[in-house]
Structure 1
Amino acid sequence: MNSVSARPPAVAGMFYPAAASTLRASVDALLAAAPALPMAQPKAIIVPHAGYIYSGPTAARAYAALAPWRQHIRRIVLLGPTHRVAVRGLALPTVQAFATPLGDIRLDGPAMAALDELPQVSRNDAVHALEHSLEVQLPFLQRCFDDFTLVPLAVGDAEPEEVAEALERLWGGDETLLVISSDLSHYLPYATAQQVDGDTCRHILDFDARVHPRQACGAYPINGLLLAAHRHGLQARLLACCNSGDTAGDRERVVGYAAFAFASSDHG
């Protein structure tokens, strides 16, 4: 593949290790430390996107649970919020791959083309260039799955129905996994964050698609997923919830993290 058609990593060496061997060992250690959580095959997960020392253990809870379907899941639809460049609706890149220190991930061109028909979807490389919410998930995906293609969507200001419509286009079967990248509350005192994040988790478990960006930076993709998942009769399960005060930060101003899995009640 022509390297000029790949988005290079923007936060390697900041949010996660830049050296391939160190990154591989770091992700594998996080996955190995995650407890086994027997469940039906998840159709979707919500995972945090801070630096691995902060939110890596929480994200690993969801990723480790996908191990039984390592070879079966072949397409990842990845949605995350925009932190650097504002955008209306959902933005796809124009490149053919996303690169990490572990190698290139092929993008699913036909699936992305199917989204081009939607008025809320645009092509915008600038939105993706420095965005970490999607990038920090990529090494986890590379270590969890043998061979897959990626549909990366940076979600700006978008109505839940607009996000749900895009998800429906790509819903697919058991070969497709939906991944929503989001942290929870930002910079609250430890005890306050616990209360706020606990309430947010209850809203998500109740499929209440009115999560506010103050509750979760990925509120827009979360709300779209909740709408689509409810329509498909999925059940939500909270796998982990903590904050940076529990992992690698002080407790004065913390960031909240949670991991969820969504699966069919009659599956598996």
Structure 2
Amino acid sequence: MAHASQRPPAVAGLFYPADPNSLHAQVAGFLSAALPAEHIDAPKALIAPHAGYIYSGAVAACAYAGLAQRRDLVRRVLLLCPTHRVSVRGMALPAAQSFITPLGAVPVDREAWLQARELPGVIVDDRPHAEEHAIEVQLPFLQSTLDHFAILPVAVGHADPLDVAGLLEALWGGPETLIVISSDLSHYQPYRQAQWRDKATIAQIRQLDASLSPDQACGAGAINGLLLAAQRHRLTPHVLDLRNSGDTAGDRERVVGYASIAFSEDLDRAHH
């Protein structure tokens, strides 16, 4: 029985290999094959998909491929996801103090956790995290690209985007803090329709338009909070990859959309 302070893997062997060597090799393969649309030096935030690796691993790798250069710099990752199995009002932090994957344990950042717990809209509840895959599938990518880091896992339910932005603002930090939003795009549309819808969603994200709906992106609540914070901090979104399951490993009748997007501080704007 796992100790209550640890959150054991829920989808190892389902969404990704349960064997550490196979998992390490698969993630390394995705990362070495990743060809992001552009190179972003030091992204402050990433949006990455969270399906099974055969479907979205290659797209997620485009978000993470550049992190290895900051391997020793990033110490804290604010990791926000939607809730797929348990309904949540607001945002849920786990009580668990670490998340386990086949590649090892990832500690929860205690200081960030204590700070976040006091914020509006935040509750502490392990239940939304217990079976949730959306944070878990990001961890092997982070474990493969960063050295010593802790996470703040946040399951975003029916939350006010202003509260989500408030949490990000409170824990914004400097280059040692990375924000990762785990989200897929459209769900179960025919291939061409999905492409059209996802392009429209991406156009909205490029405009930092924080009015995405859950049918555009399952992580809409978390993305909208990021977009509000991105407006304040003058971050620029860069689309690194945009595909769907019909491009990777599925049929084209009912596809799920995936994007990798990096948000960077626009130095030009900062000078004005």
**Alignment TM-score, normalising by the size of structure 2:** 0.96
Residue 40 of structure 1 and its aligned partner are, at CA, apart by 2.6
Residue 140 of structure 1 and its aligned partner are, at CA, apart by 0.5
Deviation track 1:6-54 (CA, whole Å, cap 9, x = no partner) reads 1000000000000000000000000000126422300000000000000
Q: Give 3-state SS (helix, strand or coil) of 1:180's partner.
A: strand
How far apart, in 2, do the equivalents of 1:34 and 1:134 lie?
21
Deviant stretches of 4+, over 4 Å: none
Q: Is 1:17 aligned with 2:17?
A: yes
How far apart, in 1, do the equivalents of 2:118 and 2:70 lie?
31
Summarize the alignment of residues 217-232 of structure 1 with structure 2, pairs less than 5 Å apart.
Answer: 217-232=218-233
How far apart, in 1, do the equivalents of 2:13 and 2:207 lie?
37
How far apart, in 2, do the equivalents of 1:95 and 1:250 lie?
38
How far apart, in 2, do the equivalents of 1:133 and 1:100 lie?
13
**1:32 equivalent in structure 2:** 32
Deviation track 1:101-147 (CA, whole Å, cap 9, x = no partner) reads 11100110111100111130000000100001111001101001011
Residue 67 of structure 1 and its aligned partner are, at CA, apart by 2.1
**1:150 equivalent in structure 2:** 151
Residue 57 of structure 1 and its aligned partner are, at CA, apart by 0.6
Gaps of at least 5 residues in structure 2 are none
Summarize the alignment of residues 185-224 of structure 1 with structure 2, pairs less than 5 Å apart.
Answer: 185-224=186-225
Alpha carbon RMSD of aligned pairs, Å? 1.1
Contact 1:40 1:264 in 2 (8 A): no
Q: Give 3-state SS (helix, strand or coil) of 1:242's partner.
A: strand
How far apart, in 2, do the equivalents of 1:6 and 1:177 lie?
22
**1:111 equivalent in structure 2:** 112
**Alignment TM-score, normalising by the size of structure 1:** 0.97
Gaps of at least 5 residues in structure 1 are none
Contact 2:63 2:262 in 1 (8 A): yes
Residue 179 of structure 1 and its aligned partner are, at CA, apart by 0.1
Residue 244 of structure 1 and its aligned partner are, at CA, apart by 0.2
Q: Give 3-state SS (helix, strand or coil) of 1:91's partner.
A: strand
How far apart, in 1, do the equivalents of 2:155 and 2:189 lie?
26
